[in-house]
Amino acid sequence: MENVNLTNHFLIAMPAMADPNFAKSVTYICEHNADGALGIVINRPTEMTLQELFSQINLSLDDAEMAASAVHFGGPVQIDRGFVLHQPPGDWQSSISINGKTTLTTSKDVLEAVANGTGPEKIFISLGYSGWAAGQLEQEMAQNAWLSVPADDTVLFDLPSENKLTAAMQLLGLDFAKLSEEAGHA
């Protein structure tokens, strides 16, 4: 598995994953290089709504449907900081382009644009992210901790959180319920 770049892939936690942050999780990898990897868990809604988040940063959100949607737990690193996955990329103060059309932004300006109705067409907002040190993700992949599959925008932005694990598994042609903890050791 030398030099595999998992940017713009989903990582699906194997059934044996013991870490409660990642058990039954789907993580979208935003950046993967020699320095490590950064991802956002996309199927862990929190109790907090976007309305509450926006209120905390003194913004009002007039879109009632959006205001009621959940902020997600993106991972155990910097859980007090917002991370916004969005399309189209736009021009924000602090962004990482993932694949030319999906972008990860951490600056408040994208949320201000969302509040005034000029934000990106598709958004996914989380608090925190998932990080791996150099070589750590490669090691976890070698230990069969994760399955990976190229990411799908529909799964990322359009499906309810509770359907994302099943949908990501279907991208691989697998059923999570039938997945053996010994997968890959036949």
Over pLDDT 90: what percentage of the chain?
Answer: 85
Q: What is the rounded average pLDDT of the residues 62-82?
A: 93
Q: Domain residue spans in the chain? A: 9-178
Q: Is the pLDDT of residue 18 over 60?
A: yes
Task: Tell me the mean pLDDT in the region 102-130.
Answer: 96
At residue 34 the predicted structure's pLDDT band, cuts being 50, 70 and 90, is: very high
Q: For the residues 155-169, what does the mean pLDDT come to?
A: 96
Q: What is the pTM of this model?
A: 0.92
Higher pLDDT, 141 or 185: 141
Residue 2 has pLDDT above 60, yes or no: no
Q: What would the two tokens of residue 143 be?
A: 């230990």
Residue for token digits 């997945």? Answer: 179
Confidence band of 182 (pLDDT split at 50, 70, 90) = very low
pLDDT band, very low/low/confident/very high, at 3 (cuts 50, 70, 90): low
CATH number for the segment(s) 9-178: 3.40.1740.10
Alpha-carbon distance of 131 to 108, in angstroms, equals: 21
